[in-house]
Amino acid sequence: MGKKPTNPLLLVVIFGDIALYGFVSSMRGVTFPLVKNGFGASYNEQGLMTAIISFTAVCFCIIPGMFMSRFGLKKTIMTGFVVMILGMASLYTAAGFRMATALFLILQGGFGFFEIGLNGMGVRIFTVKSGLMMNLLHFFFGLGATVGPRFAGFVVNRLELSWQHVYPMALVPVFLFLAVSLAARFPGRMKDEARSVTENKESSVSGKPAEAPDQIPLGSALKEPLVWIIGLIMGLVCSIEACSVSWSGLYLQDVFGLDPATGGAAFVSAFFLLYTLSRLLGGFFIEKIGYLKVVLIASAAITVLLLASFVLGKPGIYLLPVSGLFVSPIYPTMLAFSVGIFREKAQAMSPAIISIAFVLNGVIQYGFGLSNRFLGAPWAYRSCVMYGVIMFFLVLKLRKMLKEQL
């Protein structure tokens, strides 16, 4: 029996929801510097805030991963909407840096359910030309992320409102996509596959029912070495991407005197514009060139571009957004790679992979704050060169591990 075609409304939901996720999450490139400046926070406090938010994201990968295994994709994504709406609405009441941090944690919780639910659905339904389709999926994230900083800048500069107004005003599209998502029919759980697995020899000997491919416990997934290496690569590229969004505004402000609400917003939008174009057009090349080869090339390009930009000083500012072209394909391409490696188990493996990535990202985010505090204002962003080098060698290690398994 052939594979059933994907419901068109479901495609609208997955592409629309991830665009919404990009729209809301990218506004931090404008709001984070304004939060720091508005409440007089130090670099250490800013680094601690981003680290806490990143570690919260880890918790909200593990929890949604278990939640998705028990309740399915639709309830996971709907929970993400509820938590995100609560966080966005409550940020209006932020009266201090610590309170703002606590409210951003709620918002991050919603992002966690979206991250697991939408990527889980992607690896579930995009089983043909996974590299193309996962990059297309994340293209829509970049599309939303291109608009987010501009929207935040518009609210602050044109409407002359505070950053606290940005998130509540963005609730209109959130409720729109919530309504569409509620109307869609999501994929069910893999119960039929579980029954077929019970017929294998191991189940016959043990007498225990086998788990469905989408219900593998997180602990079991974490015992797989390939899960770790894929997660570490994704964590490094997440850190470079997050630094480009969260720390670039502070870098441009402190080193070159640019206003985060204008120059910073323009930088983040330019970064995400190239980032988005790469995901729109890059999937076709990824399918032809090969997943790991593309990730290896992109890792090298990120390192060279960032190094050249920082060496050149102010003229190098214009090279920094170009790194978005090469940051862009790594995360979705590694998820697509996991589909080929883990096949029907990919949906269950994805929460473990993403959790590892977010743990590493959290550690590095705190490191960015310490770098700025002890080494000086430019060094959080400059340290991305080192992470690009590490990522390059991890891809080489992954390729070696795969050859040894053949």
pLDDT digits (tens, 9 = 90+) for 13-56: 999 999 999 999 888 878 888 888 888 888 778 777 877 776 77
- Tell me what pLDDT residue 300 has: 96
Under a CB-based contact definition with an 8 Å cutoff, are residues 33 and 249 in contact?
Answer: yes
**Higher-scoring residue by pLDDT: 94, 201:** 94
pLDDT over 70, % of the chain: 88
Q: Yes or no: is domain 8-185+214-405 CATH 3.40.50.2300?
A: no
Cα separation of 17 and 8, whole Å? 14
Amino acid at 192: D
- The pLDDT value recorded for residue 261 is 65
What's the chain's average pLDDT?
83
Please give the Cα distance from 148 to 150 (Å, whole number): 5
> Is pLDDT of 199 > 50?
no
SS3 content of the chain, % helix, strand, coil (to 5): 85, 0, 15
Residue 134: is its pLDDT beyond 50? yes
pLDDT of 102 > 60? The answer is: yes
Query: Which residue blocks in 170-328 are alpha helix, DSSP H?
Result: 171-183, 191-197, 201-206, 218-221, 225-242, 248-256, 265-289, 291-312, 324-327
Largest CA distance in the chain: 70
Q: Tell me if 248 sits within 8 A of 272, measured CB to CB.
A: no
Angstrom distance (rounded) from CA 328 to CA 49: 25
343: Cβ contacts below 8 Å, ≥ 6 apart:
none
In the predicted structure, residue 2 carries a pLDDT above the cut 70? no
pTM for this entry: 0.75
Cα distance between residue 329 and residue 286, in whole Å: 9
Question: Which pLDDT does position 4 carry in this prediction?
Answer: 55
Distances (CA, A) of 151 to 29, 79, 170, 178, 267: 11, 25, 9, 20, 14
Chain mean position to CA 59:
14
Q: Which residue has the higher pLDDT, 259 or 150?
A: 150
User: In the structure, what pLDDT confidence band is assigned to residue 351 with cuts at 50, 70 and 90?
Assistant: confident
277-306 average pLDDT score: 91
